[in-house]
Structure 1
Amino acid sequence: MHLCYIDEAGNGQTLDPARPDAPPVLVVGGFTVPRAQIKSLTWAFLEAKKQYRPQLRNAEQLSEVIQHEIKGSDVRKNLRAGNHGWQRAAMQFVASLLDILEAHEARVLARVWVKEVGLAFDESGVYPASVAALNESFQAQLAYEHSRGMMVLDSRTKVKNAPNVHCVTTRKYRTGGDMLRGVIESPVFGHSDTHTLLQLADLTVSLLLFPIACHAYLSDLTWNVHCDDAYQPLREHFGERLRKLQFRYQDPLGKWRGGIVVSDRRTRQSSSLMFGTPKVTPGSAAAIPGQPGTPFPERHDAV
């Protein structure tokens, strides 16, 4: 069995020079992990939190360490405006998060939406569409692994939560048959202060994917606080590792899907910018426009 933990970074606020702090992108994503790895991954993540926040080493109760959340937005501030020591600590923290994801057979998946300046952004439609797409990717991985799984979303409000479930439920119970046979139930919701791995999903999205996307696709918007060259090292040092953490698969028409998918509404650039500018050889997966990643063969004996 596999679990999938999903969170988001950004919102539906319009990207406009009058609002320099408006998020330029919305990222909905996280990671999958085999059930057998969950306990070890949790302990490794708690240890990473202690390394970044040394005061947690003196906590008397385990609950103190679990409930103490390190927010990606705070770490990003250290990258942008912190001294050299803070910046180094932030980069080391990101590296440790990738280390534990790699060591525990995790796979990163996300939908990244790049906004257009001055145009309204329909978060209420984009978020459920992202969850639906991520469930399709999750289903493809479950089929490949001969596994079953469940998705855990970071809880928002009931009004916002409900559409994210309905979009999956209708696909599972439609008249034509279950499109998500490996996904044993519609997404459930958790709170990050009680579901530790939702904190890791938050950091994966808000500390890694969000700033990389801002730098890769919107670095020319110097008036926006999130489009900062301080994020360039994230892309340079961790882009290739992020690329390898994807699960990629081919659909019946031979198109590569899954992993980290970018919808660039400004300049229509490919998802490969998330991973730096890798060398491309003819016939490689990275040579397919907008479809980077480490491909996995598609299996048709789906669960």
Structure 2
Amino acid sequence: MYLCYIDEAGNGQTLDPARPDAPPVLVVGGFTIHDSHIKQLTWDFLNIKKTYRPQLRRSLHLSEVIHTEIKGSDVRKDVRVGNRDQRRAAMLLVDSILGLLQRYHARLLARVWVKQEGLAFNETGVYSTSVGSLTETFQAQLLDCHSRGVMVLDSRTKSKNAPNVHCVTTRKYRAGATSSRASSSRRSSGTATPTHCSSSRTSSSPPCCFPIACHAYLSDVTWNVHCDDAYRPLREEFGERLKKLQFRYQDPVGKWRGGIVVSDRRTARPPSLMFGPGRPVPPAVVIPAQQTDGDGLPSGV
């Protein structure tokens, strides 16, 4: 059986100069892993935590190590404005987590939403749309592996959780599928591992996605604290590894789907920018604010 852990990085705040700390992107995503690897992955991750937070090595109780949270905002800050040792430790943390996912054959899947300045962002609609899309990708992986699975959505609030579970259930039965189910979960020793496998946030969203997306698609937004060139090393060093960790599949008409999908309604730049600078691209041209559909999402989403 496979498990799929889903969480988010970012929120629905409007991207506006009046809020220089507002997240310029929202990442909804996570990773899948066979249940036979969960126990060892968890132990290995606890050792990574001890390396990043050496004081945990002196902990007398395992529960203290499990419950000590490495806040993603602190990791991002270390990358942006930390001294040399802090930046090195943050990079090593991301490198170790990616290595962990590779070692246990985990696969990444995510929806990355790039915000437009001054345009209201429908967090509820975008999150539900993302979960539905990720469910389809997970279902494709289960069919490919001839296996069953459980999708675990990190707990938000009751009012935010319900629509997403209903969304997954609706898609499941509309497609006649029976090989996966979804639930929401509080953080525990089992979900403690995925909840820290984040870019620069304590979530199961694919490692580095949040800061890499900020650097790839919003580097010209100089007034936002998250759009910092200090994130360039993350993109250069880990972008290609993210690409290789994706789970992608071809639909019945041969179109590639899944993996890390970017919806850039701001400049319409390609998803490939997530996986390293690559070839030079034309300067960003901000697209005028678009009309929204009945759900408050940009038309065509």
TM-score by length of 1: 0.87
* One-letter amino acid matched to 2:98: L
Are 2:185 and 1:190 equivalent residues in the alignment?
A: yes
> Which residue of the partner structure matches residue 164 of structure 2?
164
* Counterpart-to-counterpart distance in 2, 1:231 and 1:152: 29
* One-letter amino acid matched to 2:179: G
Is the contact made by 2:6 and 2:204 (CA closer than 8 Å) also made in structure 1? no
Is the contact made by 1:215 and 1:229 (CA closer than 8 Å) also made in structure 2? yes
Is the contact made by 2:33 and 2:106 (CA closer than 8 Å) also made in structure 1? yes
Deviation at 1:110, TM superposition (A): 0.4
- Aligned to 1:110, the other structure's residue is in SS state strand
Identity between Structure 1 and Structure 2 (%): 66
Structure 1 residue ranges (4+ consecutive) displaced by more than 2 angstroms after TM superposition: 192-195, 200-207
Deviation at 1:182, TM superposition (A): 2.4
> Which residue of the partner structure matches residue 104 of structure 1?
104
* Counterpart-to-counterpart distance in 2, 1:150 and 1:278: 36
* Counterpart-to-counterpart distance in 2, 1:200 and 1:41: 12
Deviation at 1:71, TM superposition (A): 1.5
Report how many aligned residue pairs link the two structures.
Answer: 274
> Which residue of the partner structure matches residue 12 of structure 2?
12
* Counterpart-to-counterpart distance in 2, 1:20 and 1:277: 25
> Which residue of the partner structure matches residue 133 of structure 1?
133
TM-score by length of 2: 0.88
Deviation at 1:207, TM superposition (A): 5.6
* Counterpart-to-counterpart distance in 1, 2:130 and 2:71: 22
* Counterpart-to-counterpart distance in 1, 2:188 and 2:72: 15
Is the contact made by 1:20 and 1:223 (CA closer than 8 Å) also made in structure 2? yes
- Aligned to 2:184, the other structure's residue is in SS state strand
* One-letter amino acid matched to 1:122: N
Deviation at 1:146, TM superposition (A): 1.0
* Counterpart-to-counterpart distance in 2, 1:171 and 1:237: 37
Cα separation, partners in 2 of 1:190 and 1:204, compared to 1, 3 Å: closer
* One-letter amino acid matched to 1:145: C
* Counterpart-to-counterpart distance in 1, 2:76 and 2:26: 16
* Counterpart-to-counterpart distance in 2, 1:69 and 1:17: 30
Residue-by-residue CA offset, 1:172-212 (whole Å, 9 max, x unaligned): 233xx51x4321x2x21112244323323435538611000
* Counterpart-to-counterpart distance in 2, 1:203 and 1:275: 20
| Structure 2 unmatched runs, 5+ | 280-301
Alpha-carbon RMSD across the aligned residues, in angstroms, is: 1.4
Deviation at 1:34, TM superposition (A): 0.5
* Counterpart-to-counterpart distance in 1, 2:106 and 2:194: 14
| Aligned with residue 199 of structure 1, among 195, 198, 203 | 195
* Counterpart-to-counterpart distance in 1, 2:206 and 2:21: 15
> Which residue of the partner structure matches residue 243 of structure 2?
243
| Structure 1 unmatched runs, 5+ | 280-303
* One-letter amino acid matched to 1:198: P
Is the contact made by 1:9 and 1:206 (CA closer than 8 Å) also made in structure 2? no
